[in-house]
Structure 1
Amino acid sequence: MNASGSSTQVQPLQIDDITVIDNAKLKKAVTAAALGNAMEWFDFGVYGFVATALGKVFFPEASPAVQTIAALGTFSVPFLVRPLGGVFFGVMGDRFGRQKVLSLTIIIMAISTFCIGLIPSYEAIGLWAPLLLLLCKLAQGFSVGGEYTGAAIFVAEYAPDRQRGFLGSWLDFGSIAGFVLGAGLVVLLHTTLAEQRFLDWGWRLPFFVAGPLGLLGLYLRHAAEETPAFTQQLEKMEKEDRAAVQERPTVSFKDIFSKYRKALLVCIGVVLVTNITYYMLLTYMPTYLSSSLGYSEEHGVLIIVVVMIGMLFVQPMVGFLSDKVGRKPFLLIGSIGLLIFSIPAFHFIGSDNLGLIFLGLLVIAILLNCMTGVMASTLPALFPTRIRYSALASAFNVAIIVAGLTPTVAAWLVEGTNNVMMPAYYLLVAAVIGLATSFFLPETANRPLRGDTPNAANRREAKVLLQQAYDHIEETVQEVDAEIAELEERLASLRQRRQRLADRHPHLE
């Protein structure tokens, strides 16, 4: 019987236990993660912006409304395989490291996106055209299942505790930048090409951009080193059991759910409210403006591009402020804001006044910034290192199944009810989920990731974090002492009660 676990003496936390992050490695890690995320959302953005054209190319025999729904449906179906990708890459990431998995996901993502631009039209190969499109989207969905969560963990495990919000916000900065690049290309192609030329071959060009972007992202991720937290986890395992490093046993998902149920549910709630809003604004909105409200496709996309450029400036500001005031306030602001302003915003969007349309979109965009600005720094802090990738990828992608259906469901609701306010009501449901989640979300700002030692930007900051860690330990010990005192009082009361009962019985002591 191995009793080493019970006999191992825990050493006091020392200054050398605080990880001081190398600034050059940190910049490389953030850039590599953000660029891969930008490529992922570049594709999603392009797909949403050219959905009308794709409907005509791959579903020409359907009505215009059904074409749009079918094209967006092809966008949504891959979300069903994202949990499979999340489980696969999550387990891989916890066993073999974050850096290796992120290099693999960006390869699959780049190849599948590039191949969309190569698919012949329905007129050329018939039913094979939409089937090949679906196959490429399924490959994307599988790889993306491990992409965002892996990138968020990669940045979070590298970031100093006091800068995690700011640095994590650049991950979704990359997402928005990818959308802007995709939308900008679509606007440029629509402006320079006649409609028939765009349908013939122009829509393919944005997907070809994924090739060089993927190569650049792969180079950066391959050059980045493994995260300090994962490296420390391997070193800890090696000290305890050298064989365990080779085997790297995984924790069952049953154990993860039983031990971290609250964290999983909080993760799902945060992902739902954030990504439903995300897909509503950045993927469905161009189609909504053109198909439901009658604006020209170029006009609708141009408005969204301007809004997204504004979001690029707000995004890092939210991350920076979250390091000062916390993550919970921003989730609360975003959720309450959606609850109050969704319906007025869509009334503005449905007006014929360009200024009001822009104002309506800007309101939703700023509320979305409140959530995307803290999501990448909040979610990795919910789980310990040894299961962080597996647990986060699984919960994230379960929620994404629902969130990814947003463009399709919103289009179907508008078409089925002939009510252009249905997207606003959809956002109200998301707001309620976000509001409920915010009450259970633990505050993680300026604290180490769960179960990890603190990360500092320099030696001086490490000394401050060490003192804060001591203060936190003292507070926790006081709380435990109070709980012990309560239990001792309860135990004494129970003993007195037992003795009184025993005294009334002739044969009990």
Structure 2
Amino acid sequence: MTGEEKKVILASSAGTIFEWYDFYLYGSLAAIIGAQFFTPFPEATRNVFALLAFAAGFIVRPFGALVFGSLGDLIGRKYTFLMTILIMGVSTFIVGLLPNYYSWGVAAPIILIALRMLQGLALGGEYGGAAVYVAEHAPANQRGYFTAFIQTTATLGLLLSLIVILSVQGYVNGAYPDQPVLDAAGAALMNADGTPQMMKAFNAWGWRIPFLGSIFLLLISLYIRVQMNESPAFKKMKEEGSASKAPLREAFGTWKNGKIALIALFGLVAGQAVVWYSGQFYALFFMQNVIKVDSFTANVLVAWSLILGTGGFLFFGALSDRIGRKPIILAGCLIAALTYQIVFPLLTKTANPVLYAAHQTPVTVTADPENCSFQFNPVGTAKFTNSCDIAKALLSRSSVNYETVPADAGALAVIKVGETEIPSYVGAENAAAVAELTAALETAKAGTDQAAIDAAQAALDAEKGKPAAFTKAVNDALTAAGYPLVAKDNTSVAVAQNFFDIFTAQKLTIVAILTYLILLVTMVYGPIAAMLVELFPTRIRYSGLSLPYHIGNGWFGGLMPATAFAISAQSGSVYGGLWYPIVIALATVVIGTLFVPGNTHKKDIFKD
């Protein structure tokens, strides 16, 4: 590798790491940021903001691919590359400065959403630029190896964000006292005993530090990228006068090129995306939300698996230079599809053996099938109020495996845990009854009959208490059946006290399982950049590869947590959601085998 080639790798990889770091910060701290900017709003308004935040994170990315992909094919790789890093870095820094709802009111969350949309757009243009720029500089027989450095950046960006968050969180919470929790008016919320509710200092203000610190990463990235030269393939195309005047129309408006984008999306990227999200993000989500490992421990264990597994990107990238990209990517998809239903139960058994044992207790939901919805709710705006939906959602959130038994039409859903039966309730009817009883109480208060007032109040309290009473009854039955619903009572669950507290048999086994999942990620992701570059001609390369990549990773991959939860609730298995990546990965294996060309690693990308 020459000095100039090293410079190209450093310039592209370092900047892309920082971009992914910026993007992941919001995802890792979303709950804390949401409490600062969205919580004070009425439900309807809060749902709109939730929708916009989701769109900024995932759905906006393909539009960034279109905008910056077109610019990259028109004005060059270098200058488009500079624009994406500048937009991402400045947006992230401003998030750290942005006053919360209590200071700026409704303007604060609106500005936050705008900044998130800018981040999504910038990320949509960043990957294609990095992949094209490196591939067009790389020696022909080492394109897979060189572009694999770009493939490490998403994982390293996630790792960097986790390390920064863990470090800042530990320092701030240890050095500064807890802060009071405020209501919508900015007043401190109080506990039942009259003491103020408190939050950790990191949740109150410390979360801003990782965002503000990103300005140093931005300055370093800009300095490196300003020193870069334009891609030789782009310069050659410009000198020959063969550049496209309308790259988007040429890339997607003709069947000749449009079919390449479709083949790339369904025969490569869709499967790569779900394996990538499963191995990194869903594994983290699964540990935190399904098998109830605390957030700090889950982040530590995933971080170690990233450290151990990241070298796989370079190994499989280099291997693809010798045997081709297609067989490695499709083999990774196939192995993942065949082993997920083995690996994730093993992860449960290792990290939370009490929960794994509790899954042997029979739990059923007896309900009218017509009243059971498919609870796909990626932005949190849908309401599922049927008794079946309420019952299944509660069990799914509690990580319960259950079976659904058909009931008569219109029958109220009933949960059965062992021999204990708990009837559910209809949310819409409960809400209507609460509204009616609230009005009746106001009417009673207008009179002087204290007995009538007390009766109206009692009826309202009883109706309001139905959801809490139902939840308590179910949780009591699950606890009696062995489900570890209270974390402090589950001493067998994996816990890490610090970043280096992994040297026990339980935690080392978890790290080994997670590293296996990361190695599958490296198989499908290591060679993908070179493969996509080789599929498209120079004149539309930036546009052509960016759109299928970001549709695959932004939509197929980004929808995975919501889709997995909906499938799990529908199937009654905490592992049911894994069928989403399994089916997509298998479909990619079939489509890729039939339609994706082989031996692209031998292609001269300077000759279109």
Offset, 1:253:
4.2
Residues 159 and 315 of structure 1: CA distance in aligned 2, closer, same or farther (over 3 Å): same
Q: Is the 8 A contact 2:233 2:606 kept in 1?
A: no
Task: Write the mapping of 1:17-28 to structure 2, written as runs, cut at 5 A.
Answer: 23-28=2-7
Q: Distance in 1 between matches of 2:15 and 2:39?
A: 33
Per mean C-alpha deviation after superposition, the further-off stretch among 323-332 and 410-419 is 410-419
Q: Are residue 92 (structure 1) and residue 71 (structure 2) matched?
A: yes
Residues 186 and 251 of structure 1: CA distance in aligned 2, closer, same or farther (over 3 Å): closer
Residues 211 and 265 of structure 1: CA distance in aligned 2, closer, same or farther (over 3 Å): same
Q: Is the 8 A contact 1:318 1:369 kept in 2?
A: yes
TM-score (norm 1): 0.76
Q: Please name the residue that 2:346 is paired with.
A: 348
Higher relative helix content: 1
User: How many matched pairs?
Assistant: 422
Per mean C-alpha deviation after superposition, the further-off stretch among 164-173 and 431-440 is 431-440
Q: Please name the residue that 1:393 is paired with.
A: 546
Q: Please name the residue that 1:252 is paired with.
A: 249
Q: Please name the residue that 1:309 is paired with.
A: 307
Offset, 1:98:
0.6
Q: Are residue 452 (structure 1) and residue 450 (structure 2) matched?
A: no
Residues 135 and 255 of structure 1: CA distance in aligned 2, closer, same or farther (over 3 Å): closer
Q: State the AA in 2 paired with 1:233.
A: M
Gaps of 5+ in 2: 174-198, 353-505
Q: Is the 8 A contact 2:310 2:518 kept in 1?
A: no
Q: State the AA in 1 paired with 2:592.
A: S
Q: Is the 8 A contact 1:97 1:230 kept in 2?
A: yes
Q: Distance in 1 between matches of 2:229 and 2:581?
A: 40
Q: Is the 8 A contact 2:250 2:540 kept in 1?
A: no
For residues 157-178 of structure 1, the C-alpha deviation after alignment (integer angstroms, 9 at most, x for no partner) is 1111111011010001122111
Gaps of 5+ in 1: 1-21, 238-243, 454-509
Q: State the AA in 1 paired with 2:560.
A: T
Report the secondary structure of 2:519's partner residue. Answer: helix
Task: Write the mapping of 1:487-502 to structure 2, written as runs, cut at 5 A.
Answer: none
RMSD of aligned Cα (Å)? 2.9
Q: Distance in 1 between matches of 2:220 and 2:591?
A: 37
Q: Is the 8 A contact 2:320 2:601 kept in 1?
A: no
Q: Distance in 2 between matches of 1:315 and 1:394?
A: 22
Report the secondary structure of 2:158's partner residue. Answer: helix
Offset, 1:126:
4.3
Q: Is the 8 A contact 1:381 1:444 kept in 2?
A: no
Report the secondary structure of 2:310's partner residue. Answer: helix
Offset, 1:389:
1.2
Q: Distance in 2 between matches of 1:395 and 1:445?
A: 18
Which of 223, 227, 231 is 2:231 aligned to?
227
Q: Is the 8 A contact 2:168 2:210 kept in 1?
A: no
Q: Please name the residue that 1:105 is paired with.
A: 84
Offset, 1:413:
5.2
Report the secondary structure of 1:295's partner residue. Answer: coil
Q: Please name the residue that 1:443 is paired with.
A: 598
Q: Is the 8 A contact 1:180 1:308 kept in 2?
A: yes
Q: Is the 8 A contact 2:324 2:599 kept in 1?
A: yes
Report the secondary structure of 1:138's partner residue. Answer: helix
Q: Percent identity?
A: 29
Which of 355, 363, 373 is 2:516 aligned to?
363
Report the secondary structure of 1:389's partner residue. Answer: helix
For residues 348-404 of structure 1, the C-alpha deviation after alignment (integer angstroms, 9 at most, x for no partner) is 222225344334322221111101110111101101111111212232233333322
Q: Distance in 1 between matches of 2:51 and 2:160?
A: 20
Q: Are residue 376 (structure 1) and residue 529 (structure 2) matched?
A: yes
Which of 202, 218, 221 is 2:222 aligned to?
218
Which of 259, 264, 267 is 2:261 aligned to?
264
Q: Please name the residue that 1:338 is paired with.
A: 336
Offset, 1:145:
1.5
Q: Distance in 2 between matches of 1:135 and 1:394?
A: 22
Q: Distance in 1 between matches of 2:216 and 2:581?
A: 36
Q: Distance in 1 between matches of 2:102 and 2:69?
A: 40
Task: Write the mapping of 1:126-141 to structure 2, written as runs, cut at 5 A.
Answer: 126-141=105-120
Offset, 1:407:
3.6
Task: Write the mapping of 1:47-62 to structure 2, written as runs, cut at 5 A.
Answer: 47-60=26-39
Q: Distance in 2 between matches of 1:59 and 1:293?
A: 28
Q: Is the 8 A contact 2:85 2:221 kept in 1?
A: yes
Q: Are residue 170 (structure 1) and residue 149 (structure 2) matched?
A: yes
Report the secondary structure of 1:209's partner residue. Answer: helix
Q: Is the 8 A contact 1:59 1:70 kept in 2?
A: yes
Q: Is the 8 A contact 1:48 1:72 kept in 2?
A: no
Q: Are residue 289 (structure 1) and residue 272 (structure 2) matched?
A: no
Q: Please name the residue that 2:94 is paired with.
A: 115
Q: Distance in 1 between matches of 2:559 and 2:225?
A: 30
